[in-house]
Amino acid sequence: MAKSVQDKILDGTLKDQINIMKLSETEINKALNLLLESRKEIIAQIVSIDVTGTLKTATQKNRLKTLYNNVNDIIDDYYTQISENSNGALLNLAKHEAFILPKIIDEAIGIPVMAPELSLNKIRSVVNKSMVDGELIGTWWYTQAKDFKSNFKKSMSSITKKFQIGMVQSQTLGEMITAMASDGQIMGYNRRNVEALIRTSSAQVADDIRQATFGENEDIMTGERWVSVFDLRTTPICRALSGNEWDSKHKNIKGGMKYQRPPAHWQCRSVMMPVTKTYEEMLKKKPQLRHLTTGQQASMNGLVSADLNYNSWMKTLSKEEQIDILGKKRYNLWEKGNLSTMDMIKQNGTPLTIEELNKKVGRIE
């Protein structure tokens, strides 16, 4: 049975969401590499200045002050690099979204009906105004750097006090270095924050571009639908919102939930997809639809499938599409039933660069 236009749009939307997750992993890897470089420099400062070398209060205070100042400079330098990389990646992601959304819908319908993609100025404006949890994304990076400095100072101060009441010098220095381990109390905390911010800011910018694109194409849309593909990580709020639909005035027409947009929480993977008008409704402003076959016209009136989990959705795709999403090795495991849903959606093993994605979807800069 041929897929309806809505099911084709769902396929394109979910594939795009997976690509966004892959892009996020690429940026996370870049950011974590910079964090590891900062860790090396900070440990070098800890060893070089060695606040455990003396118990004299004045000397120790001066050494601690020098250590904090030097480490603050290191943190500022590396977080500036991470922030700049993130800003560039988000702009590239936004340009991709502005390109791919019209492509998904036009291909689903079978004929161009979407307005031209957003201008570069509009895209830049959307990215610059994107907010996560009420704050501009750029502000979040400043906050993360500030938290890193504060956590470092508190940790070093606590360890130093232990040294003053009897911890031996080698133990003190070792504990300071341990706190900077990848999963230590300082670096582990900041690593998790970086991962969460990159994933959430990517989801936010992508949705902001979707919203702007939907706004330019209200003549072909009746509203929007929240899509959460279910697995063990799906949160209660996303389960409740999944399948809800709202009209163009944001009035709920299915599901009963108040209108809101993804991300619903940090590291949210849900996505909003457009609900397009029927053939008869759209024909009034899109006369080119008369060139569609009878079958294509009928497919525009079909409903989107009910809530899916990733495994059932994957089974609706062709083998080529499945391999494209999972990669050859993961596809072989999945086909044999040896790949869990959790493994299937985890994209750490298959990061994607923006250049690879542009080539994949046929976008030319």
pLDDT in tens, 173-216: 777 777 777 666 677 778 888 999 999 999 999 999 999 999 99
What confidence category does residue 222 fall into, taking pLDDT thresholds of 50, 70 and 90?
A: very high
Mean per-residue pLDDT, 72-96: 95
Mean per-residue pLDDT, 331-343: 70
Q: How is 149-209 classified by DSSP, letter by letter? A: HHHHHHHHHHHHHHHHTT--HHHHHHHHHHHTSTTSTTHHHHHHHHHHHHHHHHHHHHHHH
Comparison of pLDDT for 212 and 278, the residue scoring more:
212
Mean per-residue pLDDT, 38-59: 80
Mean per-residue pLDDT, 269-290: 89
Comparison of pLDDT for 165 and 129, the residue scoring more:
129
Tell me what pLDDT residue 348 has: 47
Mean per-residue pLDDT, 330-358: 68
What confidence category does residue 232 fall into, taking pLDDT thresholds of 50, 70 and 90?
A: low
Provide the 3-class DSSP secondary structure of residue 10.
helix
Percentage with pLDDT > 70 across the chain? 87
Tell me what pLDDT residue 306 has: 57
